[in-house]
Structure 1
């Protein structure tokens, strides 16, 4: 039985659908669930920063991250899943690496996340946080591939 379940979330339909599946999984496990959202505060400091208020953009990223976590927390809590939240701030680098670091430090037993299931050119251009987590995760991964509606 998994006692410590780490669930990365963002503001995508993929993440929302994975949360629904996570609810089903967590209700059977009765463990602790940690919702994690990663924000990259350096993304607006690379070129062109002289035209925008970087501090305001970073504040907006934090506020949006807080809303993402609150929404995900409400969904799981409404289904009886004991949940804690955490926002991870990075300054450049890999979101997958940040998630793996959090999984290690929180001592997660499993990571549950959604994936867009992109292939071909979409995958090459967009990359995949899920793929990065899968390659280096210290624990099992439960991946929900979310198929896009056509």
Structure 2
């Protein structure tokens, strides 16, 4: 039985599918769900500062992440699911490692996350956060692929 479910979310279809599955599990198991969203504040820092307002872009990332977390948490709370949220800020780090660390610190019993299921060259070029999580955690992971 899983009573603490961690769900990384973003704006993708795979994330939505994972959240739907986590919601189903949370209702069945009376679990607490922790929604997390990771933002990389370094992604614009190396850009040409004379062309971009880096602090404004970083603030926009934070606002967008908080908005996403609040929207999704509200949907879960409507279903009487105890929900927590966390915006995880990294500075050029590995998203997978950040998720694993958060899951361990929060004492998650299950990670539910979306995966695109890319293979071949696309996988080699883009990598996989889900694969990185699987490689570094001992916590059970449920990977959900969008239709």
TM-score w.r.t. the length of structure 2 is 0.94
In structure 1, C-alpha distance between the alignment counterparts of 2:87 and 2:67, rounded to whole Å: 11
In structure 1, C-alpha distance between the alignment counterparts of 2:119 and 2:102, rounded to whole Å: 27
Q: How does 1:126-145 map to 2 (within 5 A)?
A: 126-145=126-145
SS at match of 2:144: strand
In structure 2, C-alpha distance between the alignment counterparts of 1:116 and 1:28, rounded to whole Å: 26
In structure 1, C-alpha distance between the alignment counterparts of 2:78 and 2:121, rounded to whole Å: 39
Deviation digits for residues 8-29 of structure 1 (CA, Å, limit 9, x no counterpart): 1011111112111111111111
Q: Which runs of 4+ in 1 moved over 3 A?
A: none
Q: Which residue number in structure 2 is paired with residue 118 of structure 1?
A: 118
Residue segments in structure 1 that go unaligned for 5+ positions in a row: none
Q: 1:19, 1:76 within 8 Å by CA — same for their partners in 2?
A: no
In structure 2, C-alpha distance between the alignment counterparts of 1:71 and 1:131, rounded to whole Å: 27
Residue segments in structure 2 that go unaligned for 5+ positions in a row: none
Q: 2:3, 2:26 within 8 Å by CA — same for their partners in 1?
A: no
SS at match of 1:49: coil
Residue 137 of structure 1 and its aligned partner are, at CA, apart by 1.2
Deviation digits for residues 35-69 of structure 1 (CA, Å, limit 9, x no counterpart): 01110001101242331010000000000101111
Q: How does 1:1-150 map to 2 (within 5 A)?
A: 1-147=1-147
Residue 79 of structure 1 and its aligned partner are, at CA, apart by 2.2
In structure 2, C-alpha distance between the alignment counterparts of 1:117 and 1:76, rounded to whole Å: 26
TM-score w.r.t. the length of structure 1 is 0.92
